[in-house]
Amino acid sequence: MNQGKYYLTTPIYYVNAAPHIGHAYTTIAAEAIARIKRLEGYEATLTTGTDEHGTKVERAAQAQGKTPVEFVDLISNEFRAQWEKLDIQIDRFQRTTSPQHARMVNALFDACRANGYIYKGAYTGLYAVVSESFVNDAKPGDIDPETGKPYEEVTEENYFFKLSAFTDRLLAFYEEHPDFILPEIRRNEVLAFVKQGLADLSITRTSIKWGVPVESDPAHVFYVWFDALTAYMTAVEKDDLWPADLHLIGKEIVRFHAVYWPAFLMAAGWPLPKRVFAHGWLLFENDKMSKSRGNIVRPGPIAEVMGVDALRYFLLREIVFGQDGSFSYDALVGRYNADLANGLGNLASRTLAMIQQYRGGTIPDSRGEEAVGKAALESAAAAVRAYETFDFARALEHIWNIIALTDKYIVERAPWKLAKDASDEARQRLEDTLYTAAESLRLVCDLAEPVLPHATRLIWRQLGLREPIDPVVPAPSEWGRLWGLQWGELKGGQRIGEVSGVFPRLEAKPTIQKMQQLEEAEKDRQAELMGRPRRAEAAKPAEAAPKSASDLISIEDFAKVDLRVGEVKAAEAVKGADKLLHLQVDIGEAKARSIVAGIALAYKPEQLVGRKVVIVANLQPRKLRGLTSEGMIVAASLGDGSPVLASFLEDAPVGARLK
Ligand code: ME8
């Protein structure tokens, strides 16, 4: 029954943020797919890892007084430890700083170069001097917030990849492999992007130090994606598992996986991965959860309070795989109580308790109720089909349908009444009923195992099945037997194990409070790990106050700054600039001032309208992103750079001057 290998990957996560629930989402889904594939008879191998190069990492290390190596070791270990804590079974953990990886990246480069797809050229871009890096999303004339001056245009020599040569070959490839990019909406996006024609890609830098050196030209290091994507191959170099059967990723990196990566491999003449599946985003309060937005939830506290399986179930049941979905604590506890406590947990405890009570803990010798068996197997087959397309939510719906129909059947049969009837017929009906309930429970556990690996093992043991045991958990050589999906596999006469509850009901309020408390502690711990000050310390002044007389200014100097009370009349996001908001601020003049402020990560536009703020009203106007900014909004800058707007305890009239 061995179907051969199945190699799948998660993204190789950046070490510029500690792991959060968004990373856990992909990793849990990938691990569940690995389990599904094992049940289908494949020898599945799952790779995850950490993407550890680049300027941002170098700077983060520097800010902490650490070498890049010390810093990346720390954060990479944090990822590895997180997956261990969540008991996610990872087969390979690939770091981009490993020596084998450097060899693999160079091998890919050399192969592309030998085939004529690499050339040296000049790369010109806007350069941020302080961070020593090119700024990808700036336009000429944009101001570098770190210097207050426009970004400089800098040209450096880079190696380029001839991506332009692959437009037609990629389109032909997508045509021949309609399932290469899933879901379809992502495929259409990629097709539209490639059809516009592709520009060549700069794949090395001389301005960056922290990267994989180009062996044949060590002044250069490889630039992020050429380095990171290759990690998928490094991880399995020794096992001969390439090409990957599946790259599971978030939708924001589909272009790198579905355009650049196959083009690099085509250029090298190496085999291409078989599929890229891009899932949606986990949203929190309707916003993408991300480190830069700071609206992150960590998986650890949820697993600690509600259990790992509750977290897995919520993520895979609540969010349609491929679409965006929201995380909320209320929905998490709601799902848990409705589906796990009242659903699976209740079916397990009532079934096992009845077998204990009415049959002294022995599974009755019966084939069970054929009609229930038939309906259950139909749902089971539908669940397996849904799993095959990674539609976890649908699969779980079908599995829970088996629970519902079994619950209904138990209520109709009323075994508690049958137990009081001494007739042979009632006795037989009771045996059939108990067997049916137990067999349904066994089937549900077989099907739910990829999502609920811990609870299902617990229930199997309570059903008296050893672990691993046929027919429930086949040995690796028998993988694939399981989803033959039979009815009547439980053996009559078998003793059940010790019965204990799975998924006890949880009271929402204290459960949520507990998770939120742990979340705060975890946030602090991670902040410390990442070298950012804790929130309480973040208020410390970033720079020391001036000490010598020559550092002091006169009152006249201060009077030159025209500070005014203003009221925000309108606020909106600035397209293409994550950090900027465009405000209209009334300072008592005929017309409201147009002000572009770098506060979008800390404030939502709707929070600002109607709010009183302090404005520097006599700054020279300047252009930002094509918008004129006629003033500056005053804010305290916390240690991590996040702003807190200046405001008044008492009401201050619009236009009043601060002196
Ligand atoms: O992009 N919702 O790494 P990264 C869902 N190093 N998934 C989320 C998420 C959210 N809110 N936030 C993160 C990189 N993810 C590169 C990858 S691969 C060769 C290099 C998950 O640390 C999702 O899988 O920014 C997303 O694609 C990935 O984390 C981004 O991780």
- For the stretch 545-567, pLDDT in tens is 445 566 688 888 888 899 999 99
CA of residue 22 to ligand 1 center, whole Å: 7
- Using the structure block, give the residue that is written with the tokens 């020596």: 99
Position 25 pLDDT exceeds 80? yes
pLDDT (tens digit per residue) in 502-525: 999 999 999 999 999 999 999 889
Average pLDDT over residues 197-208: 92
Burial, 544: exposed, middle or buried (Cβ in 10 Å; 0-12, 13-18, 19+)?
A: exposed
For the chain, how are helix, strand and coil distributed in percent, rounded to 5?
45, 20, 35
Burial 302-320 (b: 16+ CB within 10 A, else e): bbebbbbbbbbbbbbbbbe
d(CA 658, CA 571): 23
DSSP state at residue 403: H
Position 529 pLDDT exceeds 70? yes
Instruction: Give the per-residue pLDDT at 582.
Output: 94
Angle, nearest 10°, between helix axes 299-306 and 68-85?
30
Instruction: Give the per-residue pLDDT at 164.
Output: 96
Neighbours of 480 (CB within 10 A): 17
The identity of residue 371, as a single letter, is A
CA of residue 331 to ligand 1 center, whole Å: 23
Position 101 pLDDT exceeds 60? yes
Of ligand 1's listed atoms, the one at least distance from the Cα of 16 is 22
Of ligand 1's listed atoms, the one at least distance from the Cα of 284 is 11
CA of residue 250 to ligand 1 center, whole Å: 6
Of ligand 1's listed atoms, the one at least distance from the Cα of 232 is 19
Position 542 pLDDT exceeds 50? no
Neighbours of 268 (CB within 10 A): 18
* Residue 526 · residue 23 · CB < 8 Å: no
Instruction: Give the per-residue pLDDT at 470.
Output: 39
DSSP state at residue 18: -
Instruction: Give the per-residue pLDDT at 602.
Output: 82
User: What are the chain's domains?
Assistant: 4-279 (3.40.50.620), 329-483 (1.10.730.10), 555-645 (2.40.50.140)
pLDDT (tens digit per residue) in 578-610: 889 999 999 999 899 999 998 888 888 888 888
pLDDT (tens digit per residue) in 228-248: 999 999 999 999 999 999 999
d(CA 31, CA 38): 11
What is the bridge-based pairing of β-strands 204-205 and 152-161? unpaired
d(CA 318, CA 393): 7
pLDDT (tens digit per residue) in 633-649: 999 877 566 788 888 77
Ligand 1, atom 28: nearest CA belongs to which residue? 250
3-state secondary structure of 356: helix
Burial, 272: exposed, middle or buried (Cβ in 10 Å; 0-12, 13-18, 19+)?
A: middle
* Residue 605 · residue 572 · CB < 8 Å: yes
The pick from 16, 23, 265, 283 for probing ligand 1's pocket by mutation, whose C-beta has the most ligand atoms within 8 angstroms, reads 23
pLDDT (tens digit per residue) in 334-391: 999 999 999 999 999 999 999 999 999 999 999 999 999 999 999 999 999 999 999 9
pLDDT above 90 as % of the chain: 69
pLDDT (tens digit per residue) in 254-286: 999 999 999 999 999 999 999 999 999 999 877
CA of residue 23 to ligand 1 center, whole Å: 6
Ligand 1, atom 3: nearest CA belongs to which residue? 13
d(CA 373, CA 436): 8
d(CA 298, CA 526): 10
pLDDT above 70 as % of the chain: 93
Of ligand 1's listed atoms, the one at least distance from the Cα of 282 is 2
Query: Residue ranges of the alpha helices (H) in 89-212?
Result: 99-114, 167-176, 184-195
* Residue 442 structure tokens: 């066994």
Alpha-carbon distances of 152 from 58, 137, 223, 623, rounded to whole Å: 21, 14, 20, 16
Instruction: Give the per-residue pLDDT at 419.
Output: 96
CA of residue 12 to ligand 1 center, whole Å: 8
Position 79 pLDDT exceeds 70? yes
Higher pLDDT, 18 or 25: 25
d(CA 226, CA 243): 17
Instruction: Give the per-residue pLDDT at 109.
Output: 98
Instruction: Give the per-residue pLDDT at 532.
Output: 64
Neighbours of 586 (CB within 10 A): 18
Position 544 pLDDT exceeds 60? no
Q: Which residues line ligand 1 (CB under 6 A)?
A: 11-14, 22-23, 25-26, 51, 228-229, 231, 249-250, 252-253, 281-282, 288-290
Give 15's contacts (C-beta < 8 A, 6+ positions apart): 50, 51, 52, 57, 71, 72, 75, 76, 79
CA of residue 339 to ligand 1 center, whole Å: 29
Neighbours of 638 (CB within 10 A): 18
User: Which of 303-307, 529-533, 556-560 is predicted with the least confidence, judged by mean pLDDT?
Assistant: 529-533
Position 476 pLDDT exceeds 50? no
Confidence of residue 50 (pLDDT cuts 50, 70, 90): very high
CA of residue 244 to ligand 1 center, whole Å: 18
The identity of residue 228, as a single letter, is A
Average pLDDT over residues 394-409: 98
CA of residue 458 to ligand 1 center, whole Å: 32
- Using the structure block, give the residue that is written with the tokens 């495929």: 187
Instruction: List residues bridging with 597 in a β-sheet.
Output: 581
pLDDT (tens digit per residue) in 606-627: 888 888 999 999 988 888 888 8
3-state secondary structure of 183: coil
Position 473 pLDDT exceeds 50? no
The pick from 12, 27, 28, 51 for probing ligand 1's pocket by mutation, whose C-beta has the most ligand atoms within 8 angstroms, reads 51
Position 480 pLDDT exceeds 80? no
* Residue 601 structure tokens: 């990560």
* Residue 236 · residue 92 · CB < 8 Å: yes
Instruction: Give the per-residue pLDDT at 469.
Output: 39
